[in-house]
Structure 1
Amino acid sequence: MALLPASQAGFAGKSCRIMPLGGASEFKLPIFPTNTNAAQTASVTYGKGSTDGNGYRGTLYNLLLADGNDVDMVGSQKGGNMSDPDNEGYNGLIITEIDAKGNTAMPIYQPNIVAIVAGTNDMKRDIDVADAPNRLKNLIQDVLDASSETVVVVSTLHPNADPPSEERILAFNAALPDLVQSFVDAGKPVILVDSHAVIAVGDLVDGTHPNDAGYARMGKAFYDGIQEAYKRGWIFDIQ
């Protein structure tokens, strides 16, 4: 699934207020010294499985900062040892629950970039799988309705070591290009990135959550997606 060029020219001097939004299945690791909430709040967005607790957010933050941008991660949760650990990553939530968290967070944090990973729990728990793409569409629409100056960068789900879960993930991912294109055709700023293509089952520490190398490639995928958004004029000035 070729969604974006392998790399984009970096941009500089932009204010990037990024809200990482998502949830994934629970996986308890030892609590990081700087993260006293890890046992209560965990996800791929939150960074479970990474040795530093930063997940993909650390790589994304560092790449954008290295380009000379002003980067502010926002959200009510704090995870990892990075200098800006804010996020909206929650343990165990399905798409509709993530949607509700986003509805609460958008007016508070007013991001101009929302990075979404949602659907892992739905696939793992076999919850209304057929309607999952439509529920993700509703989530994206709610973010866009909350702000006309926010770009959504949404990711496919990365692989899972459980064969039935992976089968459901593949079906879910296959629906995303047309889903995202429907927004683009309507003039809406939505970008699709492909974490499934850059993470292998061998990169999973527990069959579900990526290791450091997997998260780094996921962060680069989100970075490339933001570069594409910039090329399309979708990194809006923060008011």
Structure 2
Amino acid sequence: MRVLSVLGRCSQLPAFYKFTIVGVFALILISKSARDKALVSSPVATLQTGPVDFRERWDKLRRPKNNGLADGIPLRVMFIGASMTLGEHSTGERGYRKQIRDWLVEQGNEVNYVGQNRFGDFLDNDVQAFGAQPIKPTLDRCKEIVPQTQPNLILINAGSSDCFQQNHWGPAFILQKMRDLVDYLFEASPRATIIMSTIITSPWDNVEDCVKSANAQIRQVATDLIREGKPVVLAEMHYDQGLPNRVEKKHIGKDNMHPIDAGYFLMGDIFIESIQDVEEKGWLQAPVNNGIPFDGEAERHAEEAKSEEQIQEKPDEQAKGEEEKSEVKPNARRRRNI
């Protein structure tokens, strides 16, 4: 009865008010219909099928800083290690280096990777790592490149090859060899901040025993250096320290040595946390201005452009040389005739 009473009263209103009331009800119905359609077309959860492409995850990292790390100084980065540092057996052989570079650039810094080797399916892929390389040869090779490049951020993941080659190397003297390596890096590149890291787990029991021994020695080196006031932090990679999101046996590939993409991504994330740590401590310093470009991708583009230019110039130079020869021969004959 109340509804009929209300309708009766509404029928007595002027035409202007009637149209206004009808319009309001129409808008309410339209808004409700649109909202219902949005809920149907945009479910809360989306079922993902198939393998995860970690290349997509590399583009969805932490929110960037507008002014860059350490007020946007250029970062000349050197990765030191062996095949795991190279990223062998990962998608595109990029490991965690591409992931870290993308994140650094998103923070607002110019980045140039430096090293003697070039490895991985991305542009600025310079690295100071070689397959199956233990710590001692790593130091020997660093002496050939660090004084020239002088990186201001160094990330070390070395020692796994010592454990995989126990007949020749093994865990003995890793403490001294790692200390020698880091001491030399500070000597050759005084503006460097160094991130050391422990070794990830191994599914082989004999190798895992070596890994745990090596990690204990690496931790001791890092502790000693930190106590001495050196700009060093330790990126803990082994799950046995009770930290979350570490590489476990399920993250190791079919070769029982190298991580799958998910494992490499975890390692990269741990390194990123350590980079944030040294940035918060205020340790990052601008690199020495020694002529090395600040942007590694721009440097590579310039190299490629120069190489293409040289290739294009070669036919022209050859044709020009043949023309000069043809001009010299008649002149020589005239001289002899004269």
TM-score by length of 1: 0.84
The answer to whether the Cα contact below 8 Å between 1:158 and 1:195 also exists between their aligned partners in 2 is yes
Measure, in 2, the Cα distance between the counterparts of 1:117 and 1:94: 11
The answer to whether the Cα contact below 8 Å between 1:19 and 1:75 also exists between their aligned partners in 2 is yes
Tell me which residue corresponds to 2:90: 50
Measure, in 2, the Cα distance between the counterparts of 1:93 and 1:128: 12
User: How do residues 1-239 of structure 1 correspond to structure 2 at under 5 angstroms?
Assistant: 11-12=68-69, 13-23=72-82, 43-126=83-166, 127-197=169-239, 198-205=246-253, 206-239=255-288
- Is there any run of 5+ residues in structure 1 with no aligned partner, and where? 1-6, 24-42
The answer to whether the Cα contact below 8 Å between 1:8 and 1:228 also exists between their aligned partners in 2 is no
Measure, in 1, the Cα distance between the counterparts of 2:78 and 2:103: 16
The answer to whether the Cα contact below 8 Å between 2:86 and 2:119 also exists between their aligned partners in 1 is yes
Measure, in 2, the Cα distance between the counterparts of 1:9 and 1:234: 19
Measure, in 2, the Cα distance between the counterparts of 1:151 and 1:8: 23
Q: 9-18 or 54-63: which moved more?
A: 9-18
Measured after TM superposition, the shift of residue 163 of structure 1 is 0.8
Measure, in 1, the Cα distance between the counterparts of 2:176 and 2:63: 30
Letter in 2 for 1:89: A
Measure, in 2, the Cα distance between the counterparts of 1:195 and 1:84: 25
Indicate how the Cα distance of structure 1 residues 208 and 111 shifts in structure 2: closer, same or farther if over 3 A, else same: same
Look at both structures and tell me which one has the larger radius of gyration over its CA atoms. 2
Measure, in 1, the Cα distance between the counterparts of 2:123 and 2:266: 20
Tell me which residue corresponds to 1:34: none
Measure, in 2, the Cα distance between the counterparts of 1:230 and 1:170: 29
Superposition RMSD on alpha carbons, in Å? 1.8
Tell me which residue corresponds to 2:45: none
* Partner deviation per Cα, 1:149-177 (whole Å, 9 max, x = no partner): 00111110011111100111012112333
SS in 2 for 1:195: coil
Measured after TM superposition, the shift of residue 130 of structure 1 is 2.7
Aligned pair count?
214
Letter in 1 for 2:78: M
- Is there any run of 5+ residues in structure 2 with no aligned partner, and where? 1-61, 240-245, 289-338
More relative contact order in 1 or in 2 (CA 8 Å, sep 6+)? Answer: 1
Letter in 2 for 1:180: A
* Partner deviation per Cα, 1:32-63 (whole Å, 9 max, x = no partner): xxxxxxxxxxx111110101111110111111
Measure, in 2, the Cα distance between the counterparts of 1:67 and 1:87: 21
Tell me which residue corresponds to 1:33: none
Measured after TM superposition, the shift of residue 9 of structure 1 is 9.0
Name the structure with the higher helix share.
Answer: 2
Name the structure with the higher strand share.
Answer: 1
The answer to whether the Cα contact below 8 Å between 1:106 and 1:143 also exists between their aligned partners in 2 is yes
Measure, in 2, the Cα distance between the counterparts of 1:9 and 1:184: 28
Measure, in 2, the Cα distance between the counterparts of 1:193 and 1:110: 22
TM-score by length of 2: 0.60
SS in 2 for 1:207: coil
SS in 1 for 2:105: helix
